Amino acid sequence: AGPTCAGTQGGPRALPVPIASFLPNASVPGPCDPEDLLDGVIFGAKYLGSTQLVSERNPPTSVRMAQAQEAVDRIKAPEGESQPMTEVDLFVSTQRIKVLTADTQEAMMDHSLQTISYIADIGSLVVLMARRKLPQRSEVAEEKRLYKMICHVFHSADAQIIAQAIGQAFGVAYQRFLEANSIDPSELSPRQYSRALEDQEQYNAELTHFSRQENCKDVFIRKQKGEILGIAVVESGWGSILPTVVIANLMHGGPAERSGELSIGDRLMSVNGTSLVGLPLTSCQSIIRELKHQTEVTLNIVHCPPVTTAVIRRPDSKYQLGFCVENGVICSLMRGGIAERGGIRVGHRIIEINGQSVVATPHEKIIQILTQAVSEVHIKTMPASTYRLLTGQEQPIFL
């Protein structure tokens, strides 16, 4: 959930429609069973109303969030006045999103999933933004096409779950798109799929990195029966586009190090064909631990540097960065904010800000540097647990 320290209390916590996973057959994380989303899942809600906005196709997240708030302000009754509401069922699937009357099940609205541009949950409200028909050319700016956006506002105690479910539907749709077309993820650039789904600006360079064939490889390791693999793993950090474990250390002289194919920072995608994507750290550790009894192991990895560079585009200091820091470690992140889209990850330690090392910098000074930083903010981070292992603050548990 988006932390209150990262935005105003009850302010928009937006979910830019994401590409959830680059692995076919991997489970797409979210509140629903992915199989159920193929047929459709229904949520009860109260429909407050709809309004129309004119917008560029892919404005910055901050603009989308402001639009969502504007839609709420237009539709929500002033404080103290009664709010007209209609009981509805929200039907969410990998194909469409429908709004049905609760009693007669008639379709009040029916949107193809590809036309949904943005979902935001603001407290107990859900704002659903969809593009309408073909773009209209603006008389003022001939170069920029403007789209009519229809914004629907709903009230539900499950607002956050509904927003997450719609985001999950996109992830499942992407997975099915790969499977149906027998496409290897490496052969489909994020830009192509982004256009295919009319999606939003991508998360920094991470998607491109994961889809490049030269970064993805199978590593074959031979070892003695009863010998451990000799790796220590940590979580990639919440907010990562591909949640899995990261190699944090290699045991000197162990089978993994002897292979010469693995480096600290590499992401483990699968072990002997078992996907680790989306699994909790403890589950991944158990799977790796079981390899002790094997003599041959195949790891599918994405080669990544141990230090991640996030680039946050912050036009002005009035834009909230959208994350919280405690003792140099990112402890919470606002979903859909400029920091998440720039590549900031929960559980990572900040190493550098705009080329300046902050490893030995007091907490207050780090906050001051971040508060004053504008334009393009370059932040180098690594998983805090990796940092503690590399600096000798913790002893690695080799698997």
Gap between the Cα atoms of 345 and 331, Å rounded: 9
Instruction: State the pLDDT at residue 187.
Output: 59
365 close to 328: Cβ distance less than 8 angstroms: no
Gap between the Cα atoms of 390 and 395, Å rounded: 9
Gap between the Cα atoms of 166 and 128, Å rounded: 10
Query: Who wins on pLDDT, 340 or 291?
Result: 291
Query: Who wins on pLDDT, 358 or 189?
Result: 358
Gap between the Cα atoms of 151 and 159, Å rounded: 15
pLDDT tens digits for range 294-338:
999 999 888 888 888 888 877 777 667 778 888 888 887 776 567
Q: How far is CA 79 from the centre of its chain?
A: 34
- Give me the mean pLDDT over the 367-384 stretch: 86
State yes or no: pLDDT of 14 exceeds 50: no
pLDDT tens digits for range 68-117:
899 999 888 888 888 888 899 999 988 889 998 888 888 888 888 877 87
pLDDT category of residue 45 using cuts at 50, 70 and 90: very high
State yes or no: pLDDT of 8 exceeds 80: no
pLDDT tens digits for range 157-169:
998 899 888 888 8
Instruction: State the pLDDT at residue 12.
Output: 45
- Give me the mean pLDDT over the 165-189 stretch: 70
State yes or no: pLDDT of 392 exceeds 50: yes
Query: Who wins on pLDDT, 366 or 206?
Result: 366
3-state SS string for the chain: CCCHHHCCCCCCEEEECCCCCCCCCCCCCCCCCHHHHHHCEEEEEEEEEEEEEEEECCCCHHHHHHHHHHHHHHHCCCCCCCCCCEEEEEEECCCEEEEEECCCCCEEEEEEHHHEEEEEEECCEEEEEEEEEEEEECCCCCCCEEEEEEEEEEECCCHHHHHHHHHHHHHHHHHHHHHHCCCCHHHCCHHHHHHHCCCCCCCCCHHHHHHCHHHEEEEEEECCCCCCCCEEEEECCECCCCCCEEEEEECCCCHHHHHCCCCCCCEEEEECCEECCCCCHHHHHHHHHHHHHCCEEEEEEECCCCCEEEEEEECCCCCCCCEEEECCEEEEECCCCHHHHHCCCECEEEEEECCEECCCCCHHHHHHHHHHCCEEEEEEEEEHHHHHHHCCCCCCCCC
Best mean pLDDT range from 28-32, 186-190, 204-208, 338-342: 28-32
Per the prediction, the chain carries an average pLDDT of: 77
State yes or no: pLDDT of 200 exceeds 70: no
The answer to whether the predicted template modeling score (pTM) of the entire model surpasses 0.95 is no
Query: Who wins on pLDDT, 184 or 64?
Result: 64
pLDDT tens digits for range 246-277:
898 899 999 999 998 898 888 888 899 888 87
Kindly state the percentage of the chain with pLDDT values over 90: 17
